[in-house]
Amino acid sequence: MKRFLLGCLCAAAAVGAPRAQSGTAQGFPPGADPASRERAGAVMRAFAAAYPGQITNVRYEDGDYAATVNGVTFYFAGGRLLPANLTPLSMDYSPHPFYTYTPGMPVWEEPTEEDAERIRAAVARRNGAPLKRSQEFYDTLLRAGTKDDAYARVKSMRFLGRSVLVHYSIIEELSLVEEAILGAAKKSPAVRTWIDNLDSVTGWNWRSIAGTESRSFHSYGTAIDLLPRNRGNRDTYWLWTSAYNADWWAVPYSRRLNPPEEVIAAFESYGFIWGGKWLFYDTMHFEYRPEIFALNGIDYKRAW
Ligand SMILES: [Zn+2]
C-alpha cells in the first residue's frame, strides 16, 4: 500500500494520500490496467457524463475508444486524447492524468525510505523529460485554443469579495461554492478566519504548468487560486518549498497551509478537485474537473 501515485507525477496529477489507494491504481475502476480498453472506455464515458452538452457518442472505433467533442472526433490514445490526425504521433505526447480521487481531507502517512526513493526517481524523470500533453481536447471542449479565444470565454465575477476572471461555463458553480463557503463561515470560526485572511483570488491566466510544456487549467479560466495573506511558516506550493527543501514532498499536511475542510468540501461538492492532494501540492488551487468525479463514481452537484 502506497500513499503516492507515481504513475502520473505532474503538477496536475495526483498524490493519493488516503490509505485505501494503491501505487498503481491510477484510474478507474480500481485495479484495472491503466492501459486497458476497459479503462479507456471508463474515461470516455466519464467525460460524456460530465459534459453531456459537449461530449457525445462514446464508441469503440478503429481499435480505440472515441467520443465526439463539440463536433470533433477524439480518441483515447492511451490517455493522450488525440484527434485522428495526431494519433500517429501519440508517443510525442504525455497522457493526461485520470487519477483516483477521494473527497475530503486526506490522511497523512509518513513516506517510507522506499517511497522516498520512488518519489525522488519520479521527480528526476519529470525534470529530465518535461510533460507535454496535447491541448486539443480541452481546447475544443472549452472552445479556447488560443489566448484570444480563451480571453473571449472568460467573464468577471465576484468571489469572496474579489473580482476574478473565470470561464463562463463555471460561473454558476463558483457562485454556489461561494454560497456554501459563506454558509460554513456562519458556523465555523476557522472558515471565517480563512476568508478574512484571503489575499488574492486568481482565475484566468494564460500559462503553462511550472516546469512543463503543458498548459495549466488557469489558461481556460477553469482553475482558481485562493492565496492567504499571512502564510506563517506553512508550506503552500511545492515549487516554492523546493527552493529551500529538496524533500518538499515529505512536508506533512500539518505543516502545509491547507484551507479548512469545509472549503475543500464546498468545492468538491460542485466538481472541483483540490490541488493539495497532488504529490506536486498546490494548496491554493482548485480546478473544475467533473470528469475526475464521474470516473471515480463521486457524486457532485451541477448548477444546471
Ligand atoms: Zn492554480
113-149 residue pLDDT tens: 999 999 999 888 888 888 889 999 999 999 999 999 9
Kindly tell me if the per-residue pLDDT of 291 is higher than 90. yes
Sequence ranges of the domains in the chain = 145-295
- pTM of the entire predicted model: 0.88
Ligand 1 center–CA 205 separation, angstroms:
9
Region 227-242 average pLDDT? 90
Give residue 57's pLDDT.
98
User: Rounded to whole angstroms, how far apart are CA atoms 88 and 85?
Assistant: 7
Give residue 13's pLDDT.
39
Give residue 34's pLDDT.
64
User: Rounded to whole angstroms, how far apart are CA atoms 185 and 189?
Assistant: 6
Ligand 1 center–CA 199 separation, angstroms:
14
Q: What dotted CATH number matches 145-295? A: 3.30.1380
Ligand 1 center–CA 200 separation, angstroms:
12
Ligand 1 center–CA 16 separation, angstroms:
19
Give residue 16's pLDDT.
35
Ligand 1 center–CA 165 separation, angstroms:
13
Beta-carbon neighbours within 5 Å of ion ligand 1: 223, 225, 285
Give residue 33's pLDDT.
66
Higher pLDDT, 2 or 78: 78
Ligand 1 center–CA 56 separation, angstroms:
29
Kindly report, residue by residue over 85-120, the tens digit of the pLDDT. Answer: 999 999 999 999 888 999 998 899 999 999 999 999
